[in-house]
Amino acid sequence: MSGRILVTPRSITKEGHPALAKLESAGFEWVSCAKGRQPTEEELLELLPGCVGYFAGVEPVSARVLQSASDLKVISRNGVGVSSIDLGAAKRQGIRVLTTPGANARGVAELTFAHMLALARGLCFGDRSLKAGGWDREKGFELQDRQLGLVGCGAIGRIVSELAIAFGMRVRAYDLYPDPNFHPQGFDYAPLDEVLADSDVISFHCPPPADGKPLVDEAFLAKVKPGALLVNTARGELLDENAVLAALDSGQIFGLGLDAHRGEPPSDRSLLEHPRVLATAHIGGFTTESVDRAVTGAVDNLLLALGE
């Protein structure tokens, strides 16, 4: 086997990974973009032509980019999200799009729960106050006997459910394709409106709607239990940021945990800078273990597809 493979995930271009040696051993040359940041469309237009494989991060991959890559046979993602890729264009050009389901599920689930705990106990507010020389306290609440609502309950949502049940929470989940084999004590599936109306914490583990409109808009937020916490470790495009800001200001939602953003880094920082928002820089799958599983899986997918 031979050919060139483009590698763009930020963690890999910045730090490298031993699994890339498999590509070299198989006879491939791999190239990368600028270290530690997403490539722009213009950079992809320069780098991707001539590549037979593409180890992609979360950067947008447009039809224009794919049309320039006449030799490209496969795109491999070190995760499950493919909403940033023009799948229609890939299909028309016969380019396979492969993912690594479950590789980063544990990392994202644990970060989700970290956001829940931090928001429930006001950790971000207390930290800012102390560092500014103050001694402000805000009464929090305990998670035991509270209800967690999940919008989407795939591999990540199921781990979040198990963590929540271990904390003594009840879990209700809305999913388009509920898993009949997942039914731990303290968990059930329910219609979306019921999940929103009854839950003290709502966490998102789903892709954005296919029509491109935000799922969490003014109408959605009006159905949420007043004073609930929201946690989004899935996709920034799920949120109408203006509607969420208004709900934070009115108290309709008490706080927001945010690890996925529109544009990374985001150009509009209004939501990030709200005092009731705890924000992280898309670190859900950025653990040693999750990265190892995802990179190894993505490399293996490339080698398998290019060897066929």
CATH of the domain at 35: 3.40.50.720
* Shared-domain flag, residues 158 and 272: yes
* Shared-domain flag, residues 117 and 233: yes
Q: How distant, in Å, are the alpha carbons of 5, 49, 146, 186, 212 from that of 69?
A: 12, 4, 51, 50, 26
* Shared-domain flag, residues 99 and 112: no
The percent of residues in the chain predicted with pLDDT above 90, rounded, is: 89
* Shared-domain flag, residues 99 and 125: no
Q: Is the peptide bond before 265 cis (omega within 30 degrees of 0)?
A: yes
Give residue-wise pLDDT tens across range 78-136: 988 898 899 999 999 999 999 999 999 999 999 999 999 999 999 988 999 999 999 99
**Residue 235 appears among annotated catalytic residues:** yes
* Shared-domain flag, residues 261 and 291: no
**Residue 264 appears among annotated catalytic residues:** yes
* Shared-domain flag, residues 9 and 81: yes
* Shared-domain flag, residues 115 and 217: yes
* Shared-domain flag, residues 137 and 16: no
The catalytic residue among 17, 235, 261, 274 is 235
* Shared-domain flag, residues 196 and 301: no
**Residue 42 appears among annotated catalytic residues:** no
The catalytic residue among 41, 110, 194, 264 is 264
* Shared-domain flag, residues 149 and 253: yes
Reply yes or no on whether the pLDDT at 279 is more than 70: yes
The whole-number pLDDT of residue 1 equals 66
Instruction: Give the range of the structural domain holding residue 232, as residue numbers without chain letter.
Output: 105-279
* Shared-domain flag, residues 187 and 224: yes
The catalytic residue among 10, 205, 274, 282 is 282
Give how many domains the chain has, as a whole number. 2
* Shared-domain flag, residues 95 and 20: yes
